[in-house]
Every structure is written in structure tokens, then in C-alpha cells.
Amino acid sequence: MKSGETELPEYSSSDEDFVDPWHVASKSATGIDYDKLITKFGSQKIDDNLITKIENLTGKRAHHLLRRGVFFSMRDMHGILTLYEQKQPFYLYTGRGPSSEAMHLGHLIPFIFTKWLQETFDVPLVIQLTDDEKFIWNDITVEEANRYAHENAKDIIALGFDINKTFIFSDIEYISSCPEFYMNICKVQKLVTYSQVKGIFGFDVSDSIGKISFPAIQAAPSFSSSFPRLFKSKKDIPCLIPCAIDQDPYFRMTRDVAQKLGGVKPAVIHSTFVPALQGVQTKMSASDPNASIFLTDTDEEIRIKIKRYADSEGGINMTDEHKKRGSYLTDISYQYLTYLMTDDDKFTQIERDYACGVLAREQLQEILIKLLQKIIGKHRQNRALVTKEMVKQYMTPRNLECSIVT
């Protein structure tokens, strides 16, 4: 392997967990072992000291997704905090692969945290919609993929991102309109060999050349030079990428080539996966409507899915063995409340009551159902207010406002 080359560790049939950008699976009843994943990927665990530093610098309490370990791993987050402390600019970059008209709860969580980052640090945000990727990987037309991108943009806009600080773009559309973006894609493509992407992503000779070349497209938004209209042609603004940890291979590759491009290595902050309704051994998937809570689900659909599909080891009355094993931690209703319930005191009381058997499984499900109905009901209302003109405004390149980008 060439010097500086990054590569995913080899997985064997004996591994309990498998994680890559397209598949997440665990053989363990407790789900993905994130500490082991940190070791395999070579990232750093987010500890209490880092959370305290964020709170001290911003003067704000850390987001509940950070406090509860949902965002658990990072690369170079300390460097980003140093930039903020020195009043130096950086921007946020995240994305969405539009494989269906509606996003689900698993897609929503990283965007909720990204919105907090944008508001807390007062920085610009670029959101990549990889409609080209979904066309290449899925059995859909390129026109469908692009339409899904615009539909997903409505879900993202409905969260309330500041239009003056947020740019959403479709790969299919932006590549054809911004030479600088395509130039960076070409530069990454030239620096990364087939041997490297094979090692990083597991591609083989049967994969299309579209798949093999796509990682360069996901790498390009890591460099501010890809957005001359947004950043007044500044080419050296660092970025922070909030994403689920299955996307980390893209950015390990990006970090390896960044300096050769004359750019800055992107910093990354990783989240865990929102598990499927059937259990913690895999994540929510847009391809299985019974495994996911979609942002378009009605109140009744939410109730049916939680009651019918939400897996639990708890039962109505918890046994002493259940309490001893702490298996409530893998209960799907409990897991979802970890992501969604912002009131710490209320969440702690529910956790305590459920762990000791005071709170029955049906009661926990009812708490979750009501919370989901409230959150998704509000989201549906907000989404209904998003017009095509609003989508066009968010997806039009223009200077982004930010107190530290001048």
C-alpha cells in the first residue's frame, strides 16, 4: 500500500459487526459495538472534556444528542473549536442520498444536530443531495433520482435552516453549473487509484465505473473552493462534516488527498445509527416501510408501526434477569426516546422506571407514540408550507451570511 493511503480494515465472517457506506449489520443482540468501530476506523471518541469545552466556548449547553452519546466519535473536532475560539471561519457540510420521496426518522437525526451546530457556531452550511449516487446504485431513472432530491430538500427545509446561511444542491444540477466543483472532483479522481477505492469501499471488477468514481464527488464539497459563489472565492476555509459513521470512509479518503489538493483536511463528527423497528442489529432503511418511521407517516401509521413492529426484550413485566442484563437498553422504544426526548429530567425518570420494571412496555410505547406523533405531525405541517419557489431559493448559489466569513 502506498504511503498515506487509507484503507478499511478487512472484515471476516467472525466479525460481529459490518459497517460500510451502504450496509450496516450486527450479529450481536446488543447491536453495533461503537467502541470497536472507533478502533477499526481510527477515529477518536468524544469524551466529557470535549463536550465541556464546547459548552465553555459557546456559552450554550451541549445538544442532547451530544450529551447522550448519539454523536460519539470525531476527527479534528478540537481544531474546529480552536478556529471558533480564534474567530476564524469554517463551514458545515452534510448530505442526503435521495432514494425515496420521503425521508425517515434515521435521516432526520443528523439534520437536527446539524441545525444546532449551525445556530450555535453561526456558520454557513452546504447540503449535498447525491441524486447521481442513488441513480447509479438503485433501480431508478436519473430523472426520478433528481425528483427525489427536490422532494427531500422540502423535508430538510421544513426543519427551519436559515436560508441566508444554507445552500442545498443536487449533484446532477450543480456539477453542470460550477466548473470549480467539477475541477475538484477531477483532482480527487486523479489522486485516488482503483486499488485505493477497492480497499476503502470494497469495489470489484463487476462494479460500474460510476460507483468507482463517485467517492470523488462526495469528497469535493469538503473544499471551500468548490463553492466560489458562496464563500467569495476563498479556497482555504475548513469544514466540519456531521454524518453517520458509515460515511466515514469517504472522508478518510478525502483527508488523505486534501493537502495534495492544496486544501484543508475536513473535520468529521460521527453519529450512531437509528435502529430499524425490528431491532438494534441494523439501521432504518428507506427500502423497507415496515422498518422505518417516515416523516410522512400519519398518527395512525405511527401507532401501528410501534405496536406491531417495535422489537423489545422487555415484555409487560420485567423479570429480575432482564433487569440484571440491562436489556432495556436495546429496546427500540427506549432507543428512539434517547434520540428524540429533549427533556433530560423526564428522560432520566423514564429510563429509571423502565429499567426497574415500574414502567411497563406498553406504557413506554405510548410515551414514544405520542412524542413521535407530535414531532412528525409538526414536521408534516412545516413541510406543507415549503413551496417550489422556496426550494429554488435554497438551491440557488449565492453569498452565504456568516459573522466570521467576511
Q: What is the CATH number of the domain that holds 238?
A: 3.40.50.620
Q: At what angle do helices 194-201 and 248-258 cross, to 10 degrees?
A: 150
Q: Is residue 406 part of a domain?
A: no
Domains held by the chain: number? 2
Domain stop point among 231, 257, 276: 276
- Residue labelled with grid coordinates 459487526: 17
Q: Are strands 44-45 and 24-26 parallel, antiparallel or unpaired?
A: unpaired
Residue 150: the pLDDT is 98
Nearest alpha carbon to residue 225 among 270, 178, 257: 178
Residue 329: the pLDDT is 84
Grid cell at residue 166 = 444554507
Grid cell at residue 332 = 427500540
Residue 8: the pLDDT is 42
Residues 6 or more apart whose Cβ sits within 8 Å of residue 296 = 101, 102, 380
Judgement on whether residues 199 and 133 belong to the same structural domain of the protein = yes
| Phi (first) and psi of residue 28, to 5 degrees | -80, 140
* Residue 366 contacts residue 350 (beta carbons within 8 Å): no
* Residue 397 contacts residue 161 (beta carbons within 8 Å): no
Residue 57: the pLDDT is 97
**Cα Rg for the chain, rounded, in angstroms?**
21
Q: 43 is in which domain, residue-wise?
A: 17-276
Residue 234: the pLDDT is 86
Measured between its terminal Cα atoms, the distance across the chain in Å is 42
Judgement on whether residues 347 and 249 belong to the same structural domain of the protein = no
Against a cut of 0.75, is the pTM above it? yes
| Phi (first) and psi of residue 168, to 5 degrees | -110, 135
Judgement on whether residues 299 and 224 belong to the same structural domain of the protein = no
Grid cell at residue 70 = 448519539
Judgement on whether residues 251 and 316 belong to the same structural domain of the protein = no
Q: Mapping DSSP to helix (H, G, I), strand (E, B) and coil, where does residue 293 land?
A: coil
Judgement on whether residues 265 and 124 belong to the same structural domain of the protein = yes
Judgement on whether residues 266 and 350 belong to the same structural domain of the protein = no
Tens of pLDDT, residues 103-140:
999 999 999 999 999 999 999 999 999 999 999 999 99
Residue 327: the pLDDT is 66
| Positions of the chain with pLDDT lower than 70, given as ranges | 1-15, 311-327, 403-406
Judgement on whether residues 172 and 258 belong to the same structural domain of the protein = yes
* Rounded distance between C-alpha atoms, residue 220 and residue 132, angstroms: 14
Judgement on whether residues 267 and 362 belong to the same structural domain of the protein = no
Q: What is the CATH number of the domain that holds 310?
A: 1.10.240.10
Residue 403: the pLDDT is 55
Q: Mapping DSSP to helix (H, G, I), strand (E, B) and coil, where does residue 242 land?
A: strand
Grid cell at residue 187 = 483532482
Judgement on whether residues 239 and 373 belong to the same structural domain of the protein = no
* Rounded distance between C-alpha atoms, residue 239 and residue 241, angstroms: 6
Judgement on whether residues 291 and 270 belong to the same structural domain of the protein = no
Residue 310: the pLDDT is 87
